[in-house]
Structure 1
Amino acid sequence: MGIGLHLGLTPAQLSQVLQVEEASIGKKEADAGRAVLAKVLKADKQPASGK
């Protein structure tokens, strides 16, 4: 998910990918992806740690 954001995909576009994944593969797998996306977005909003 992080690489997608760095390549220019928006959070909305990544959510759409997960919707397609849910329809194609299953809800359990898509929910796992949604959890990862939420974590990545949360981390992306955190201020940089001075490194």
Structure 2
Amino acid sequence: MKIAVIVFPGSNCDIDLYEALHTVCDAAVEYVSYKQDNLDGFDAVMLPGGFS
């Protein structure tokens, strides 16, 4: 399974989310900029927590 972790201004815990998905789910995880408009090839997309 390949999972995208979206990184955007004000986001936090993206590193924690990455590590949890990689360690617990044994998934291939990749950081992806919020500006990227093509998410083809990913099985799931995750949004970390953040502040507004």
Bucket of the pairwise TM-score, normalised by the shorter protein:
0.3 to 0.5
Report the TM-score when normalising by structure 1.
0.36
Q: Relative to total residues, which structure has the larger helix share, 1 or 2?
A: 1
TM-score (norm 2): 0.36
- The structure having more radius of gyration, on CA atoms, is 1
- Structure number with greater CO (CA < 8 Å, separation at least 6) is 2
